[in-house]
Amino acid sequence: MSESVASILGLVASNPAIAHAISFSSLSLFIDLIVYLKPILSWSQSPYKFSPPSFLPDNLQTFLASALNISLPICSELWTLLRDVLWLSLPSSKSLSGRVVESLIQFGVRHGIGVYNLYPPTRNCLRTGCKYLRRHAGDQRVLEQPITTNAVYFSREHGPVPAVSHSLRCPQCHARYYPNYWIDSAGDSRTYYEGPTPTAIHVTTHVFIDDNVTANELCHQINKDKAYW
Ligand SMILES: [Zn+2]
């Protein structure tokens, strides 16, 4: 980790335009946000691509520029400068500091980025018949046609906060995959994923609840729910 920080500082110092445009505090927030939002970056590109995206998605770039109070060109240049070290050296983190939460609420929501951004646990269709026959032969079909849904996430640590739920569709069988389950093309069969209980329980279309929130805490949080969307 400290090696990564030294590399990052060295790269920033090597670029006078960036070094003069961004404070250390903003640089630190940039790193925290990128590390936290890595899943959004991963989902923005093919699962067969393992290098960092060449460019930030438009909404993420605009959000970061606003949160860091820097221009879009500087934000773009900062990503170009640091993308390799951030992608390869710093693992994705689910820890949410108060500063990251505040930035996401204040600047992320308007760009379709929630404090929690929920995706299916798979990039591929789970049905045995949905395999590629030529390119990537034998691999399960990659999900596509994303749809986003704004939601509220009741979290034990941060209370009710805005979230974005992402669903994607199999191009072959047309099943749609949600964070907790998938639904077949006829829409009449909901299948929950195997494995451990998810940390975010999908209660209704627009509501997720952290699995460690107690009923008592939930009652208090519902009274504090704000209209973020
Ligand atoms: Zn399928």
Domain locations along the chain? 1-111, 114-229
CA of 67 to the centre of ligand 1 (A): 39
Convert the pLDDT of each residue in 27-65 to its tens digit: 999 999 999 999 999 999 999 999 999 999 999 999 999
Convert the pLDDT of each residue in 154-176 to its tens digit: 998 899 999 999 999 999 999 99
For residue 152, give both structure tokens.
Answer: 């509220």
CA of 209 to the centre of ligand 1 (A): 28
CA of 120 to the centre of ligand 1 (A): 14
CA of 11 to the centre of ligand 1 (A): 44
The pair phi, psi for residue 100, each rounded to 5°, is -65, -45
Average pLDDT over residues 88-98: 81
DSSP code, position 141: P
In contact, 52 and 86? CB cutoff 8 Å: yes
CA of 203 to the centre of ligand 1 (A): 25
Q: Flag whether pLDDT at 3 surpasses 90.
A: no
This complex has an ipTM of: 0.99
